[in-house]
């Protein structure tokens, strides 16, 4: 069977493709930047083609050639600072192009990335985990676009009977993450590179989840023909920036991590208490302890710098 992945050479896609290949899938990645991943070890199982999701003709042509059984869209602008017209073309039109091209190519099974950003700040919900059925309070460009994508996916489900699954990753972490929510990542990667780093609030809350876990979730969900739900939150570990810094200092005692203020960050933090019961129950997802993931990221950076790995005690 063939899986077509738009945006498949990015941060998540790079880890997802080998996981699908292990499951015996043929994979066609369509990306504007095809050179940012190297799948040569996977031989003929993976083909990378250049294409722009905001151009319907590109998506349709590539999908017609690939004849996929499953489609995933990961192509997106992360963040909310983008000019409206430019962001709309990739995030809204691009997503619709993928849904419509899949439909016209006869592929019923689609998954795409939404985000925990659809929920906005935690303060809208109080001190409780947010579920997929809660009202979505997101209000910035990125959140509004994801909320519209979710609506559009439901419209395709309702009107065309397509099996489109929404996955809402939390704050994805990994050594090569450079856009989106990056403070929780730089709190690990900068000290691992011997650089000092400073953040506004020690009590700011994040919900990190390692990119390897996200790739595994996409693989399990897309390989399931009829998941029980339309929307899944990945959740992660609710943790403050100060607590992340403490874990980093356990492994790197000389880490220079400072904060402007002890408090004031929690009150304005994004959604970080997330109920992921659906995903855990249906797909058997279990996350490795976050502390292990911090060490993994530190050692990824040390490897880049030809330094020996740090061993856990």
Chain residues binding ligand NAD by CB under 6 A are 6-7, 9-13, 31-33, 36, 52-54, 74-76, 78, 90, 94, 113, 115, 169, 171-172, 177, 180-181
Q: How far is the CB of 95 from ligand NAD (least distance, A)?
A: 9
SS3 label, residue 235? strand
Q: Which is closer to ligand NAD, CB of 120 or CB of 252? A: 120
CB of 215 to ligand NAD, least distance (A): 9
Closer to ligand NAD by Cβ: residue 103 or 210: 210
Q: C-beta of 94: minimal distance to ligand NAD in Å?
A: 6
Taking alpha carbons only, the member of 64, 61, 31 closest to residue 46 is 31
Both tokens of residue 49? Answer: 């083609």
Shortest spacing between CB 207 and ligand NAD, in angstroms: 10
The closest alpha carbon to 76, from 55, 60, 91, belongs to 91
Q: Could you tell me whether strands 231-235 and 163-169 are parallel, antiparallel, or unpaired per DSSP bridges?
A: parallel
Distance of CA 172 to the CA centre of its chain: 6
In angstroms, the CA 292 to CA 115 distance is: 24
Give the nearest residue (CB) to ligand NAD.
10
Shortest approach of ligand NAD to residue 249 CB, angstroms? 24
The SS3 of residue 61 is helix
User: In this complex, which beta carbon is closest to ligand NAD, that of residue 236 or of residue 242?
Assistant: 236
CA atoms within 13 A on the CB side of 253: 0
C-beta closer to ligand NAD: residue 7 or 265:
7
| C-beta closer to ligand NAD: residue 31 or 212 | 31
| CA dihedral sign of residues 124, 157, 286, 302 | negative
Report the residue number, 52 or 213, with the smaller CB distance to ligand NAD: 52
Shortest Å, Cβ 135 to ligand NAD: 19
In the complex with ligand NAD, which residue's Cβ is closer, 59 or 301? 59
Query: Considering only CA atoms, which of 57, 56, 48, 58 is closest in space to residue 27?
Result: 48
What's the CA gap between 302 and 84, in Å, rounded?
Answer: 39
49: buried, middle or exposed (CB in 10 Å: 19+, 13-18, 0-12)?
middle
DSSP classification of residue 91: I
Q: To the nearest whole angstrom, how small is the minimum distance from the Cβ of residue 144 to ligand NAD?
A: 13
């Amino acid at each position: 069977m063939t899986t077509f992945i738009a945006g498949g050479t990015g941060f998540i896609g790079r880890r997802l493709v080998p996981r699908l290949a292990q499951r015996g899938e043929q994979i066609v990645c369509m990306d504007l930047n095809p050179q940012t991943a190297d799948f040569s070890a996977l031989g003929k199982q993976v083909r990378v083609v250049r294409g722009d999701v905001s151009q319907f003709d590109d998506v349709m042509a590539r999908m017609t050639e690939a004849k996929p059984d499953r489609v995933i869209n990961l192509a997106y602008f992360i963040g909310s600072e983008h000019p409206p017209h430019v962001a709309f073309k990739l995030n809204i039109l691009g997503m619709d192009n993928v849904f419509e091209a899949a439909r016209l190519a006869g592929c019923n099974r689609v998954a795409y990335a939404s985000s925990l950003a659809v929920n906005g700040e935690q303060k809208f919900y109080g001190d409780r985990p947010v579920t997929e059925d809660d009202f979505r309070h997101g209000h910035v460009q990125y959140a509004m676009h994801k909320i519209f994508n979710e609506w559009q996916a439901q419209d395709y489900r309702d009107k065309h009977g397509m099996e489109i699954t929404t996955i809402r990753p939390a704050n994805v972490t990994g050594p090569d993450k450079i856009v989106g929510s990056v403070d929780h990542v730089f709190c690990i990667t900068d000290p691992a590179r011997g650089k000092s780093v400073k953040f506004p609030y020690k009590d700011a809350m994040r919900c990190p989840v390692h990119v390897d876990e996200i790739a595994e979730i996409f693989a399990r969900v897309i390989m399931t023909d009829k998941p029980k739900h339309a929307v899944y939150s990945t959740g992660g570990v609710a943790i403050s920036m100060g607590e992340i810094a403490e874990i980093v200092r356990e492994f790197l005692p000389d880490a220079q991590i400072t904060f402007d203020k002890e408090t004031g960050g929690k009150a304005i933090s994004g959604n970080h208490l997330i109920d992921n019961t659906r995903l855990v129950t249906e797909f058997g997802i279990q996350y490795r302890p976050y502390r292990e993931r911090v060490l993994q990221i530190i050692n990824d950076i040390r490897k880049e710098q030809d330094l020996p790995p740090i061993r856990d005690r």
